Amino acid sequence: MEEERFVVFRLAGEDFAIPIDGVHSVERMMPITRVPKAPTFVEGVINLRGEVVPVIDLRRRLDLPPATEDVDAHIVVVLAGEQLVGLIVDEISHVLSLPATAIQPADQVIGEANRNFLQGVGQGEQGLIIILDLERVVDPER
Map out the domains of the chain as residue ranges.
Answer: 3-138
Across the range 44-65, mean pLDDT stands at 94
- Would strands 51-57 and 83-89 be described as parallel, antiparallel, or unpaired? parallel
Of 93, 94, 85, 91, nearest to 29 by C-alpha is 91
pLDDT at 34 over 60: yes
At residue 78, what are phi and psi to the nearest 5 degrees? -120, 155
Euclidean distance between CA atoms 29 and 61, whole angstroms: 18
For 90-135, what is each residue's pLDDT tens digit?
999 999 998 888 888 876 555 444 567 888 888 877 788 999 998 8
Residue 109: per-residue pLDDT: 53
Q: Residue 66: which pLDDT band, with cuts at 50, 70 and 90?
A: confident
Indicate the class that CATH gives domain 3-138.
Answer: mainly beta
Residue 100: per-residue pLDDT: 82
For residue 58, give the H/E element and its range.
helix 58-61
Specify whether the CB–CB gap between 29 and 14 falls below 8 A.
Answer: no
Of 135, 108, 139, nearest to 122 by C-alpha is 108
pTM for the model stands at 0.89
Residue 110: per-residue pLDDT: 54
Query: In the Cβ-directed half-sphere of 28, how many Cα atoms lie within 13 Å?
Result: 0
